[in-house]
């Protein structure tokens, strides 16, 4: 009788055990095929080297490196190789801004001029004379808001990705910061220096430098020990070199003897695939990684949902094909933008297989990431090749994604 009671008790306890949540995985066959695909790309000399990683909310599913991180000196690419992630910095700065939003330090529709004086009374360009570089402007009809900055709808432009801005910079000798807006705030989506302004906002509201704030509020709590603006001397040997593809030939640019940091909100960070994946896992998990909360769940939802209404992400075409091709993928489908992320409106066709609602962005030297909340995965693929959106690098990126979804279970 006692043995029967114990057996019944064990059965009852088992019935009340919390149900295990299914986690996506990649079987060995899939890992082998991804390995072979990336190794073949290196063997064909499509790319000099690559690091790729896929993770779910709590563990790494795939993480491998291929090729060379320094071709001239015959140094193998490692999984912890440090890459310049360029505009992948933007997502991190956007999260930093939203941690201050969580604290009630501002409203998304506050005018940025309320916090940063130089953005009072913005001007919008109305005409430009190519011959003498003169232009005319008019006062903007509305103020630039923090939401405009987070969604790339303020009207700023980059000279590398906007031909008019490039001509303005060339003809006037002025910086992008000194030139007028390309259009009215909120009128359309144009890639520009919005997140650089947001870096200034972080410093203004926190009383900390941007590197200090990111380290204290994001990098240290998440264990991102290989993410920084200033490369520590002891980690210099892990810094990948950059390549330029010109007329189909890859030419290596050796690293300088001393790194020249570029400390701004929209670019300049260095990181590893594993570090950046931890940042993305935090977002995938609703703002926390394990017991560490970085951002409120509601703020993550705001960041990863359409915030531009009927507007769409537009194709950006710059003047210099050696620096950047047209981008981004998804523009032709009418993708949306959240607060710091491109949002896929469709999935399973054309450019990628990620689910609708997946969010992503990239860096100038072909570093890319995406987060797929429906499938429960994050992915990072890091190369260091110009031009941005180089067709060969994009083929590697798309092939990697295709194999991930083919084998994801």
pLDDT digits (tens, 9 = 90+) for 246-264: 999 999 999 999 999 999 9
224 domain residue, yes or no:
yes
CA pair distance 112, 122, nearest whole angstrom: 11
pLDDT category, 362, cuts 50, 70, 90?
A: very high
Please check the confidence at residue 201 and state whether its pLDDT lies above 90: yes
Please check the confidence at residue 373 and state whether its pLDDT lies above 70: yes
Q: Find the mean pLDDT for residues 181-203.
A: 98
Q: pLDDT tens digits, residue range 101-142?
A: 999 999 999 999 999 999 999 999 999 998 888 999 999 999
CA pair distance 360, 288, nearest whole angstrom: 19
Q: Find the mean pLDDT for residues 175-182.
A: 97
Total count of domains within the chain: 1
Note the pLDDT of residue 167.
Answer: 96
* Selection from 321, 179, 197, 203 nearest residue 267 by Cα: 197
Q: Find the mean pLDDT for residues 52-78.
A: 98
Please check the confidence at residue 304 and state whether its pLDDT lies above 50: yes
Note the pLDDT of residue 349.
Answer: 61
Average pLDDT for the chain: 93
Please check the confidence at residue 22 and state whether its pLDDT lies above 60: no
CA pair distance 280, 85, nearest whole angstrom: 14
Please check the confidence at residue 20 and state whether its pLDDT lies above 50: no
4 domain residue, yes or no:
no
Please check the confidence at residue 238 and state whether its pLDDT lies above 80: yes
Q: pLDDT tens digits, residue range 387-401?
A: 999 999 999 999 999
Provide the pairing of β-strand 83-84 with 336-337.
Answer: unpaired
201 domain residue, yes or no:
yes
Q: Find the mean pLDDT for residues 330-342.
A: 95
Domain of residue 388: give its range.
28-407
Please check the confidence at residue 81 and state whether its pLDDT lies above 80: yes
6 domain residue, yes or no:
no
The answer to whether 306 touches 358, Cβ cutoff 8 Å, is: no
22 domain residue, yes or no:
no
The answer to whether 62 touches 54, Cβ cutoff 8 Å, is: yes
17 domain residue, yes or no:
no
Please check the confidence at residue 299 and state whether its pLDDT lies above 70: yes
What is the model's pTM? Answer: 0.93
The answer to whether 49 touches 228, Cβ cutoff 8 Å, is: no
Q: Please list, in sequence order, all residues whose beta carbon lies within 8 angstroms of the beta carbon of residue 382, skipping any fewer than 6 positions away.
A: 50, 51, 52, 81, 83, 85, 273, 367, 368
The answer to whether 389 touches 295, Cβ cutoff 8 Å, is: no
Specify the CATH number for the domain of residue 284.
Answer: 3.40.710.10
Dihedrals phi, psi of 31, to nearest 5 degrees: -60, -45
Provide the pairing of β-strand 242-246 with 60-70.
Answer: unpaired
Q: Please list, in sequence order, all residues whose beta carbon lies within 8 angstroms of the beta carbon of residue 58, skipping any fewer than 6 positions away.
A: 23, 281, 285, 290
pLDDT category, 352, cuts 50, 70, 90?
A: low
Note the pLDDT of residue 3.
Answer: 40
Please check the confidence at residue 95 and state whether its pLDDT lies above 80: yes
* Selection from 291, 231, 277, 224 nearest residue 255 by Cα: 231
* Selection from 245, 218, 266, 263 nearest residue 362 by Cα: 266
Note the pLDDT of residue 346.
Answer: 83
100 domain residue, yes or no:
yes
11 domain residue, yes or no:
no
**Across-strand partners of 271?**
83
Dihedrals phi, psi of 363, to nearest 5 degrees: -125, 155
Q: Where are the beta strands (DSSP E) in 309-366?
A: 336-337, 342-343, 359-363
């Amino acid at each position: 009788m006692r043995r029967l009671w114990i057996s019944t008790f064990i059965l009852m306890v088992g019935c009340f055990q919390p149900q295990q949540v299914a986690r996506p995985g990649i079987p060995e066959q899939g890992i082998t095929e991804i390995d072979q695909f990336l190794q073949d790309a290196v063997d064909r000399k499509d790319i000099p080297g690559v690091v790729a990683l896929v993770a779910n909310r709590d563990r790494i599913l795939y993480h491998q490196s291929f090729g060379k991180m320094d071709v001239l000196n015959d140094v193998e690419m490692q999984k912890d190789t440090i890459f310049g992630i360029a505009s992948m910095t933007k997502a991190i700065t956007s999260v930093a801004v939203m941690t201050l939003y969580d604290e009630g330090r501002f409203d998304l529709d506050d005018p940025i001029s309320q916090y940063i004086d130089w953005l009072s009374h913005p001007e919008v360009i109305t005409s430009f004379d190519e011959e003498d570089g003169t232009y005319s402007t008019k006062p903007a009809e509305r103020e630039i808001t923090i939401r405009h900055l987070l969604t790339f709808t303020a009207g700023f432009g980059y000279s590398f990705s906007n031909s008019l801005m490039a001509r303005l910079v060339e003809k006037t000798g002025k910086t992008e910061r000194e030139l007028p807006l390309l259009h009215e705030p909120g009128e359309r989506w144009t890639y520009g220096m919005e997140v650089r302004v947001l870096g200034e906002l972080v410093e203004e509201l926190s009383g900390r430098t941007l590197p200090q704030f990111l380290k204290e509020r994001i990098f240290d709590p998440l264990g991102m020990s290989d993410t920084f603006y200033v490369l520590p001397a002891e980690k210099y040997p892990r810094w990948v070199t950059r390549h330029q593809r010109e007329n189909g030939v890859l030419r290596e640019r050796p690293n300088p003897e001393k790194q020249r940091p570029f400390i701004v909100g929209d670019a300049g960070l260095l990181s590893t695939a594993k570090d950046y994946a931890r940042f993305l896992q935090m977002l995938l998990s609703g703002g926390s990684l394990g017991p560490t909360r970085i951002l409120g769940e509601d703020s993550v939802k705001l960041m990863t949902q359409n915030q531009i209404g009927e507007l769409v992400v537009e194709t950006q075409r710059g003047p210099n094909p050696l620096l950047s091709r047209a981008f981004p993928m998804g523009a032709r489908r009418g993708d949306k933008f959240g607060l710091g992320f491109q949002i896929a409106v469709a999935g399973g066709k054309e450019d990628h297989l990620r689910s609708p609602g997946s969010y992503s962005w990239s860096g100038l030297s072909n570093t890319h990431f995406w987060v797929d909340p429906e499938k429960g995965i994050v992915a990072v693929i890091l190369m260091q090749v110009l031009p941005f959106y180089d067709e060969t690098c994009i083929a590697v990126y798309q092939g990697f994604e295709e194999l991930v979804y083919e084998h994801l279970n």
